[in-house]
Amino acid sequence: MKAAQFAAFGAPTEVIQVVDKDPGPLAPGEALIEVLATPINPSDTATLTGIYGILPKLPAVPGNEGVGRVVRVEGTAPVKPGDIVFLPMGSGTWRTHLKAKAQRLLPVPPGADLLQMAMLSINPPTAELMLHEFVQPKSGEWVIQNAANSAVGRYLISLAKLEGIKTINVVRRAGLADELKALGADVVLEDGDDLDQRVREATGGAPVKLGIDAVGGSGTLRLADAISEGGTVVNYGIMSGKAPLISPAALIFRNVTLRGFWLALWMRTAPREAQAALMAKLAKQVAEGTLRAAVDATFPLENVREALARSLEGGRDGKVLLTPVKA
C-alpha cells in the first residue's frame, strides 16, 4: 500500500514523495477502502506550499475528496465489500488505501462516471450551498461571482442555470466569455475599478442581492460595491493572497454584509441525512449530464509529481486527477 506524502512545506513537486504506508488494523465500525480516483484541487497545492488557512501536522498525505471501493469492514456497518463510496472529506486521499469510519461513507450511484463523482464532494456542494444558504435567489433574479472560470464558478453557473437564476460572472482575463456562456452564464465581465457601473448597465439596474467571492482583497471590495443595498457577499477563498476588503460605503451606508463559508465546517455540523441528500441531488445531476466538469488528465499515484506539475500549468482544459487503484 502506497501514499503520496510530504514532510515539509514548499514547492509541491519538490516536497511530495511516494512512500509505503500501511493503514494498520481496522477498529470496530471502520472500513478499508481502495482509492479509485482523487482530484488535485487548489486547496491541495496551497497546503503543500504552506499557505492554506489550516495546515496539517507533518508528515501528511494530501487529498480531500474522491471515490473508492470498500475492501473490508469491521463489525456492523452501512456498507459492504465491493460498494463504491465517496471518500470522507479531508481524509488524505492521495494513497492506494485508506481507513474510514463506515458511518461517514456515502454511496456513489451505480454506473456513475467515477471521475466525475471523484470531483463531486467539494466544489459542487460549495457552489450549491453558497447559492442558497445565505440568500435565497429566485428564478429570474441576479447573482454575481468573481473567479467565475474556477471549478466552483463553473459549477455555480450550471446550478444557477438549472433554477433560472441569472449570473454575472467576473473574470480576470479576456477571452472567457464564449466558454462560460456555453455553460449558461448570462453576463461575463472583466474585473476592474468600474465594475459596479458595468454591472448596473448589464442588469438594467436590477437588484443583485448575492455576491460570491473567491478572490479577497480589492476583488471583494469591487464585488461588494456592485451588489445592491442589504445584499450579502460570501467569501470562500483568497486567490489574491489578501484578506477580503469592503468599503465603508458598502458596509455602513448600504448595509452590505460580508460572510465566510468553509465546506468542511458545514460537513462537521450538518446531519448525515442532510449531507446524503445534498450528495444524492448533485450526483443525480452529474448522472443526467446537467452538471459536469472537464477532465484534463489522469495519472497513477507513482506519477504524482508529473500530475502536480500539470495541475499547476496555465491553460489546462479541466481537472487533473490521480487514479491510485484501477477501477
**Cell representation of residue 204:** 438594467
Q: What are the DSSP calls for 156-218, one per residue?
A: HHHHHHHTT-EEEEEESSSS-HHHHHHHT-SEEEE--TTHHHHHHHHHTT--EEEEEESS-TH
Cell of 185: 452564464
52 labelled catalytic: yes
Q: Is residue 243 within 8 Å of 268, Cβ to Cβ?
A: no
Consecutive H or E run containing 287: helix 272-288
Bridge partners of 6?
Answer: 16, 60
29 DSSP assignment: T
Residues 6+ positions from 188 with CB-CB distance below 8 Å:
148, 169, 171, 176, 177, 180, 181
- Report strand pairing: 106-107 vs 84-86: antiparallel
Out of 9, 52, 261, 262, pick the active-site residue. 52
Tell me the C-alpha distance between 287 and 36, whole Å.
18
> Which residue from 128, 136, 152, 114 is spatially nearest to 35, judged by alpha carbons?
114
CA distance 216 to 199: 19
- Tell me the one-letter amino acid at 258: L
Q: Would you please indicate which residues are annotated as catalytic (active-site) residues? A: 52
